[in-house]
Structure 1
Amino acid sequence: MKAMILAAGRGNRMCPLTDTTPKPLLPVAGKPLIQYQIERLVRAGFRDLVINHAHLGVQIEQALGDGQRFGARICYSPEGEGRALETGGGIFKALPLLGPEPFLVTNGDIFSNIDYSALRLAAGDLVTLVLVDNPPQHPQGDFVLGDHGKLLSEGERRLTFAGVGLYDPALFASCQPGAFPLAPLLRQAISQGRASGYHDKGQWMDIGTPERLGQLEKILKSDV
């Protein structure tokens, strides 16, 4: 199975750090943030990786290369400077690189110990999402985990989408090239009963601000 790392975001909340450095390359405890994702994917058995990029994307290609030194094979899906296609559009553009089989997608700006190798796409499903407990910055959550692991759009016990999921390419069958969000596709799959979820209770952080970047730095240095 192939995996895609989403790395095309502008990182506005990280300014001025991202004025000259793309967010995935911001250093944390001695190495770029995205490198932690690459290493975890490789340990889970994912060797063929696709990385999209937009803002200062050439720096990402220069820093990571073909992925050989990580034990991976990296292909890139450039979206053009300042023209990020949003999550849905970015994945759709990368489909020729991802191939006809289900694939994993993870945000490039999260840090977690999610076991990627344990994720499965149930027969008939178009998507399986990893959900986590709601963090302070997102207390309202996103989706509800219903009976037998099926995802629901509404309900009392909402959880937060971790930015990690398995997708069948058929999820994008009706899409056209261009910028568009992923959420409407997810909600359509949910309404069809073709979306499942997994509640991960391990470590997870959305590194969306300089403050959270600093928190992760402290955590990683304290673990050394």
Structure 2
Amino acid sequence: MAKAMILAAGQGTRVRPLTKQTPKPMVPILGQPVLEYIIEHLARHGIKEIMINVAFNHWKIENYFGDGHRWGVQIGYAYEGVREHGEILPRPVGSAGGMRRIQDFSGFFDETTLVLCGDAIIDLDIGAALAEHHAKQAMASVVALEVPEDQVQNYGIVVADPDGRITSFQ
């Protein structure tokens, strides 16, 4: 099967005041944190080992999700910051930096690992994505969503060749 890493270390400055005291993945939608929808989706697809990269108010995420047993998964936490006076002070290192730190200390990425943003609800068919990844014997795969042309400036463009290999990001 596969593992998952959820990026949840950001401060959510673009959606303040909702995130003034709350990590963006903990903002509720219909009474449930966004991050809970993601964990439930992963569990439905058989992803049982999850690492969550945390920083800003990390304890709110940890207190809510704990070790993950309530969802039938195992959750671990990686901290993006420094410890001062017993508290984690956020020191962003970016998505790749957080992933590198986890790999350096744990070997977490030694098997197929999904990396997801902790602030976006998805309905991705994880089984199909993993099947294509394995069929193409890819080292890494990027799942992208087509957006209307008038919204491209908000997201960017993934340029791929006819076989689906990424040639550039714009």
* TM-score over 0.5 for the pair: yes
The one-letter amino acid of 2:7's match is L
Instruction: Tell me: CA distance 1:136–1:31, structure 2 relative to 1, closer, same or farther (3 Å).
Output: farther
For the Cα contact (< 8 Å) 1:26–1:32, is it kept in 2? yes
Q: Give the conservation status (yes or no) of the 8 Å contact 1:51–1:77.
A: yes
Alignment of 1:164-179 (within 5 A): none
Alpha-carbon distance between aligned partners in 2 of 1:112 and 1:145, rounded to the nearest angstrom: 22
SS of residue paired to 2:121: strand
Instruction: Give TM-score, length-normalised by structure 1.
Output: 0.64
The answer to whether 1:143 aligns with 2:144 is no
Cross-structure match for 1:83: 91
Match of 1:30 in 2: 31
Q: Could you tell me which residue of structure 2 aligns to residue 67 of structure 1? A: 68
Alpha-carbon separation, structure 1, partners of 2:148 and 2:59: 32
Aligned residues: 154
SS in 2 for 1:19: coil
Deviations 1:27-48 (A, max 9, x none): 1001101000000000011000
Structure 1 vs Structure 2 CA RMSD: 1.9
The alpha-carbon distance between structure 1 residues 24 and 144, as it changes in their structure 2 partners (threshold 3 A), is same
Structure 2 distance, partners of 1:138, 1:109, is: 19
State the identity as a percent.
Answer: 37
TM-superposed CA distance for 1:151, in Å, is 1.3
Contact 1:75–1:97 (Cα < 8 Å) also in 2: no
Aligned to 1:4: 5
- Residue identity opposite 2:140 in structure 1: V
Residue in 1 aligned with 2:147? 134
Tell me, in whole angstroms, the C-alpha distance in 2 between the residues paired with 1:97 and 1:4.
Answer: 13
State which of 107, 117, 120 in structure 2 corresponds to 1:107: 117
Gaps of 5+ in 2: 82-88
C-alpha separation in 1, matches of 2:90 and 2:65 = 21
Separation of aligned partners in 2, 1:137 and 1:87: 27
State the 1:79 CA deviation.
1.2
Quick one: which amino acid aligns to residue 96 of structure 2? Answer: G
Structure 1 gaps of 5+ residues are 159-224
